[in-house]
């Protein structure tokens, strides 16, 4: 597909957006490490002087790159509020400076001078773009808009058309991607948090470009240039690529893409693992076939709800009542497992004798259920506390344990306390589900792995209590997932190293801020 592309091999387009020419130029140099196609968001520069400085700098660039000059108007989601004449004048200057392409929104066509048409056809290549940042368009409305855009593209002699639409669901995203199939001059851009997987798969689906910011996001749902290129390898995906992913809401905190994609890369597997922000499970399930999804992880809040949508389930997962792993079998049948169970046992067995211990679980959701059944199988006495006392009692009965009220937590002693709630998860690192005075135990295990050291674990450490980070459970359950999907031993060492490296880098960046 790359051979017939308007942009050659470099179809990931780095987006440079900064207030000064110096910052923008720094982003250009960084972008060149990943791609040779770069969009310059001239409307982000704070004045004409900075715009001229950046364009002048392009003349000295080596090696050469394909630059797309964009001077986006406010009506199309940009920052420029002047006239169409001023917009066209700057884009003309960009062509003189060496930009091979210019992006002009369809809203500017009515104000375009007649004499500019000949200049448009004669110099540079042009993208005619349409952006919808509001509610998603229906199928019929989107097709009507696309036909009108194509008619204008042909009339004015634009080389390519770009359709960017806000998407609330995967179904919306698929509608946008289908517009590019079989067409070399269409750029399809699904926008919004739910559209992130579609952005990564856009090139595979036929889009002429996929946009990724060097540093500053210019639209919701964008994936950083580094991740687009190195983590997801978006420009190497093809119709034979097996798709896996994690389903949850929220999902931005997940390290699962780093874990699983590292495994695929080490073993040279033509597969990719994507983050799916899913509010409605039915929306995701309907996208399994069109996207070629072969398996997926399940996290909050869908671990219990997914059971209703499975064709079959591992007996242990059925007993737990929660599934975190699904594999597609026999013509698309969905089969569920629970590898959280494995993760809990492996993390705890290394640090304490489970048999005969008394363990408090804080929470009663899908993750808590896996912990409870793992502890019961290991011979522990289980106590459960949850915000909803009814759920706590139900889980306690299922594992022959006891439900305890909050007041008892401070009075009683436990061998271990396990946090199975999302309290304290990124970006709410300053929260803790329990106070220091409630940590009457020998060990605290927090299932949250981002951040690696939660506020709960810090409180425990200050009191001299042994701690276990959720990263241990995360790694164990994720590696078990990978082996279920691939049917072979996972490259555990390399997968672990990739995740720990990402966490260390994140912690270093956090300290700098």
HEC readout, 139-176: HHHHHHHHHHHHHHHHHHCCCEEEEEEECCCHHHHHHH
Quickly list DSSP for 354-396. Answer: -TT-EEEEE--SHHHHHHHHHHHHTT-EEEEE-SSHHHHHHHH
184 touches 156 (CB < 8 A): no
Q: Checking DSSP bridges between strand 333-337 and strand 37-41, what pairing results, if any?
A: unpaired
Q: Which residues contact 310 (CB under 8 A, 6 or more apart)?
A: 323, 326, 334, 335, 336
Instruction: Say what the alpha-carbon torsion angle 70, 76, 80, 84 is, to the nearest 10 degrees.
Output: 80
User: For residue 329, what are the β-bridge partners?
Assistant: 333
User: For residue 360, what are the β-bridge partners?
Assistant: 383, 417
Decide: helix, strand or coil at residue 297.
strand
Q: Which residues contact 491 (CB under 8 A, 6 or more apart)?
A: 262, 263, 266, 267
Q: What tokens appear for 165 in the block?
A: 């639409």
Q: Checking DSSP bridges between strand 333-337 and strand 325-329, what pairing results, if any?
A: antiparallel
Q: What is the CA radius of gyration of the chain?
A: 26
Cis peptide before 112 (omega within 30 of 0): no
Q: Checking DSSP bridges between strand 186-191 and strand 160-166, what pairing results, if any?
A: parallel
d(CA 96, CA 260): 45
d(CA 29, CA 23): 10
104 touches 73 (CB < 8 A): no
456-471 in b/e burial notation, b at 16+ Cβ within 10 A?
Answer: bbebbeeeebebbbbb
Q: Which of 188, 197, 162 is nearest to 274 (CA)?
A: 197
CB atoms within 10 A of CB 21: 20
The verdict on whether 279 is a catalytic residue reads no
d(CA 110, CA 85): 11
Q: Which of 269, 426, 452, 445 is nearest to 340 (CA)?
A: 445
Residue with tokens 């980070």: 469
Distances (CA, A) of 84 to 194, 315, 329, 415: 33, 65, 55, 71
The residue from 125, 303, 394, 512 that is catalytic is 303
Q: Checking DSSP bridges between strand 37-41 and strand 12-16, what pairing results, if any?
A: parallel
Catalytic annotation, residues = 303
């Amino acid at each position: 597909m790359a051979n017939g592309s308007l942009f050659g091999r470099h179809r990931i387009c780095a987006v440079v957006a900064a207030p000064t020419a110096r910052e923008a130029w720094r982003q250009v140099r960084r972008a060149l490490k990943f791609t040779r196609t770069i969009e310059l968001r001239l409307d982000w520069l704070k004045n004409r002087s900075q715009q001229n400085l950046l364009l002048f700098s392009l003349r000295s660039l080596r090696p050469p790159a394909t630059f797309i000059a964009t001077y986006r108007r406010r009506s199309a989601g940009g920052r420029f509020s002047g006239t169409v004449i001023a917009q066209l004048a700057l884009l003309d200057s960009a062509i003189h400076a060496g930009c091979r392409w210019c992006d002009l929104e369809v809203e500017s066509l009515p104000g375009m001078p007649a004499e500019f048409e000949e200049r448009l056809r004669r110099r540079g290549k042009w993208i005619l773009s349409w952006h919808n940042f509001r509610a998603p368009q229906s199928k019929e409305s989107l097709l009507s808009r696309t036909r009108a855009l194509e008619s204008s593209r042909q009339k004015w002699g634009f080389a390519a058309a770009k359709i960017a639409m806000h998407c609330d669901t995967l179904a919306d995203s698929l509608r946008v991607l289908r517009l590019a199939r079989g067409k070399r001059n269409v750029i399809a851009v699904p926008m919004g948090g739910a559209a992130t997987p579609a952005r990564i798969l856009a090139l595979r689906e036929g889009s002429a470009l996929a946009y990724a910011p060097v540093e500053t996001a210019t639209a919701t749902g964008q994936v950083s240039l580094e991740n687009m290129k190195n983590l997801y390898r978006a420009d190497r995906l093809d119709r034979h690529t097996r798709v896996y992913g994690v389903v949850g809401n929220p999902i931005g905190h997940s390290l699962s893409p780093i874990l699983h994609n590292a495994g695929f890369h080490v073993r040279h597997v033509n597969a990719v693992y994507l983050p799916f922000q899913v509010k409605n499970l039915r929306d995701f399930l309907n996208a399994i076939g069109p996207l070629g999804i072969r398996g997926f992880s399940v996290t909050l809040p869908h671990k219990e709800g997914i059971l209703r949508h499975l064709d079959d389930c591992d007996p242990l997962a059925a007993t737990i009542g929660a599934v975190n792993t699904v594999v597609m079998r026999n013509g698309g049948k969905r089969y569920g497992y629970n590898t959280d169970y494995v993760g809990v046992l492996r993390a705890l067995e290394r640090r304490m004798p489970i048999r005969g211990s008394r363990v408090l679980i804080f929470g009663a959701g899908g993750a808590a259920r896996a912990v409870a059944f793992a502890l019961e199988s290991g011979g522990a006495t289980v106590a459960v506390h949850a915000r909803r006392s009814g759920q706590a009692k139900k889980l306690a009965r299922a594992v022959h344990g006891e439900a305890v009220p909050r007041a008892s937590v401070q009075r009683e002693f436990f061998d271990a306390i396990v946090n199975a709630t999302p309290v304290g998860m990124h970006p709410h690192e300053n929260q803790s589900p329990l106070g220091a005075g409630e940590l009457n135990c020998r060990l605290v295990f927090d299932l949250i792995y981002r951040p690696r050291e939660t506020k709960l674990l810090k409180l425990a450490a200050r009191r001299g209590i042994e701690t276990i980070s959720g990263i241990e459970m995360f790694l164990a359950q994720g590696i078990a997932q990978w082996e279920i999907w691939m049917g072979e031993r996972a490259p555990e060492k390399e997968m672990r190293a990739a995740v720990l490296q990402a966490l260390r880098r994140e912690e270093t960046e956090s300290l700098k801020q």
